[in-house]
């Protein structure tokens, strides 16, 4: 099996202009001054895609994935490096790319096909299939400037998949249109896979990448941070995305926080009910903070933790909460909450709900939450741990979604919960 796409040392630089020159006089006055800076969207990208592979490109907004696809499709030229494509390429990279707004849908089909190197005679033979796939029979002779965005994409995708390309480049198109059209697109992609064609897809949908792709590449700030099976790359993508969200949230909190009027140790501590995760800000402020029992660390233990940063679905998990007690304390409850990336509570329990009695001696120790299995699928799961009194009137310490574990699903099942299933045909 040969190589369909070879990307060798590709970098792409854009100029970011901070001030717009409004007149010739202003341009002359400012000549010689550097009013722009370099922005590197891609840096030294090396990527080889074999014939017949379906590769997904994942990354946050601005990571460089669409830029890379445009360079592969010949829309942009790399600043450095080269791209080699072996075979006929069909690209659907931007909404209506290659369409002339004043021409009808019919005329744009022929125009778009000619750009792809397809003869008029071949398009005559395929024209009805293209229009039928796009579901635009009533509008095919209407100027495309009157089309909705969904109609644009349907027509563009219909042309791209009906010209029988060796390599298909698709940017976010599979997420456009109604559910029926999306299924039709996915069916055609799977037919291409059966035919041994090469497909490169940019998508924000990790589940779509999992279902369709045989391999996934994750970009972050113009660099490749993962090139692996879809499950592993999706884990890395979510890890980078979640870490970025945490950094932004912490930065926003730091910017918004008022100047402290007292030392940090004397500041009141907000309260979170880790059993139900439903304590309001007002209720939280009414509770009394007492730091005589402090959380000093949280760690996760599971089989294989020394070689991988993630659990597999239904792996057992141990959450160890390290603490320091300044004095012996009998009125104490340890609690834990598990959340999804959006902060939704998935599970909550504490020593009261599980009828576990705790008496702490003075000194350091560890409290252990043992989960026989964690029946979750792909995702980054933040946890909240807290220590409070039985009546919840005193919070000794808490850690709100500051630690997290990851689950990587090596299969193709989708969703959040892992439900083991067997399948068979029973004779009637």
Average confidence (pLDDT) per 10 residues, the chain, 428 residues: 91 79 62 71 95 93 90 92 92 68 91 80 90 90 88 83 86 68 82 92 82 91 92 81 60 54 37 35 44 92 89 93 93 93 88 91 94 91 91 86 88 83 88
State the total domains in the chain.
2
Which phi and psi angles does 332 have, rounded to 5°? -145, 140
Q: Are residues 217 and 304 in the same domain?
A: no
Pair 158, 75 in one domain: yes
Please check whether residue 261 lies inside any domain of the structure.
no
CA 225 from centroid of its chain's CA atoms? 13
- 63 and 194 in a single domain? The answer is yes
Are both 58 and 199 inside the same structural domain? yes
Dump strand ranges (E) for 139-214. 167-171, 198-202
Domain-located, residue 258: no
User: Which phi and psi angles does 249 have, rounded to 5°?
Assistant: -65, -45
d(CA 422, CA 103): 54
Q: Are residues 207 and 289 in the same domain?
A: no
What are the pLDDT digits (tens) for 80-132? 999 999 998 888 776 555 688 899 999 989 988 887 778 888 889 989 999 99
Residues 307 and 182 in one domain: no
276 in the same domain as 316 = yes
- Asked if residue 413 is part of any domain, the answer here is no
Could you tell me the pTM of the whole model?
A: 0.64
In a domain, 248, yes or no: no
Closest CA to 329 of 248, 269, 388: 388
- Quickly count: other Cβ atoms within 10 Å of residue 121's Cβ: 7
CA dist., res. 210 & res. 28, Å (int): 54
Together in a domain, 179 and 282: no
Separation between Cα atoms, residue 32 and residue 278, nearest integer Å: 60
Q: What is the CATH number of the domain that holds 297?
A: 2.70.50.60
Q: What is the CATH number of the domain that holds 127?
A: 3.40.50.300
Last residue of a domain, one of 240, 259, 289: 240
Q: Per the domain annotation, does 144 fall within a domain? A: yes
Cα 8 from Cα 154, distance rounded (Å): 33
**Host domain of residue 285:** 267-407
Quote the crossing angle between the two packed helices 149-162 and 105-115, to the nearest 10°.
Answer: 40
Phi, psi of 159 (to 5 degrees): -65, -50
User: Are 271 and 214 in a shared domain?
Assistant: no
Domain boundary among 189, 222, 240: 240
For residues 349 and 230, membership in a common domain is answered with: no
Are residues 271 and 220 both part of a single domain?
no
What is the strand order of the sheet 293-301 is part of? Answer: 293-301, 317-325, 363-371
Contact 33, 4 (CB under 8 A): no
Q: In whole angstroms, what is the distance from residue 191 CA to residue 351 CA?
A: 54
182 and 115 both lie in a single domain: yes
Inter-residue contact 90 to 116 (CB < 8 Å): yes
pLDDT value for 154:
84
Largest CA distance in the chain: 88
CA triple 406-44-54, angle to 5 deg: 55
418 inside domain: no
8 Å CB contact between 240 and 223: no
- Cα 400 to chain center, whole Å? 23
In a domain, 422, yes or no: no
Q: Is 256 within a domain?
A: no
E strand spans, 88-166: 89-92
């Amino acid at each position: 099996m040969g190589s369909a796409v070879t990307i060798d040392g590709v970098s792409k630089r854009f100029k970011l202009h901070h001030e717009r020159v409004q007149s010739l006089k202003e341009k002359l006055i400012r000549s010689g001054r550097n009013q722009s800076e370099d922005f590197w969207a891609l840096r030294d990208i090396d990527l080889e895609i074999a014939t017949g592979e379906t590769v997904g490109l994942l990354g946050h907004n601005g990571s460089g994935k669409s830029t890379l696809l445009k360079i592969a499709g010949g829309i942009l030229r790399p600043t450095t490096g080269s791209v080699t494509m072996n075979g006929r390429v069909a690209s659907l990279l931007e909404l209506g790319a290659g369409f002339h707004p004043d021409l009808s849908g019919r005329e744009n089909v022929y125009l778009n096909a000619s750009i792809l190197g397809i003869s008029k005679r071949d398009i005559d033979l395929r024209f009805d299939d293209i229009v039928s796939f796009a579901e635009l029979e009533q509008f095919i002779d209407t100027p495309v400037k009157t089309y909705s965005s969904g109609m644009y994409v349907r027509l563009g995708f219909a042309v791209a998949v009906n010209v029988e390309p060796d390599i298909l480049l698709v940017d976010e198109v599979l997420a456009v249109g109604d559910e029926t059209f999306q299924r039709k697109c996915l069916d055609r992609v799977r037919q291409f896979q059966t035919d041994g064609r090469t497909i490169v897809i940019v998508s924000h949908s990790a589940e779509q990448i999992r279902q369709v792709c045989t391999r996934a590449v994750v970009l972050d700030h113009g660099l490749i941070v993962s090139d692996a099976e879809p499950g592993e790359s999706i884990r890395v993508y979510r890890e980078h995305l979640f870490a970025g969200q945490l950094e932004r949230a912490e930065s926003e909190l730091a910017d918004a926080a008022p100047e402290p009027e007292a030392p940090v140790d004397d500041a009141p501590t907000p309260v979170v009910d880790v059993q139900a995760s439903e304590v309001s800000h007002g209720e939280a402020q009414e509770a009394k903070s007492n730091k005589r029992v402090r959380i000093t660390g949280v760690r996760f233990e599971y089989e294989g933790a020394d070689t991988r940063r993630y659990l597999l679905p239904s792996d057992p998990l141990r959450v160890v909460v390290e603490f320091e007690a300044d004095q012996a304390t009998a009125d104490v409850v340890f609690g834990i909450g598990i959340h999804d990336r959006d902060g939704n509570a998935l599970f909550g329990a504490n020593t009261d709900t599980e009828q576990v009695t705790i008496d702490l001696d003075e000194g350091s120790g560890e409290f252990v939450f043992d989960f026989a299995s964690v029946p979750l699928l792909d995702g980054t799961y933040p946890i909240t741990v807290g220590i409070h009194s039985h009546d919840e009137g005193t919070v000794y310490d808490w850690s709100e979604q500051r630690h997290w574990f990851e689950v990587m699903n090596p299969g193709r099942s989708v969703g959040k919960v892992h439900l083991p299933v067997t399948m068979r045909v029973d004779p009637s």
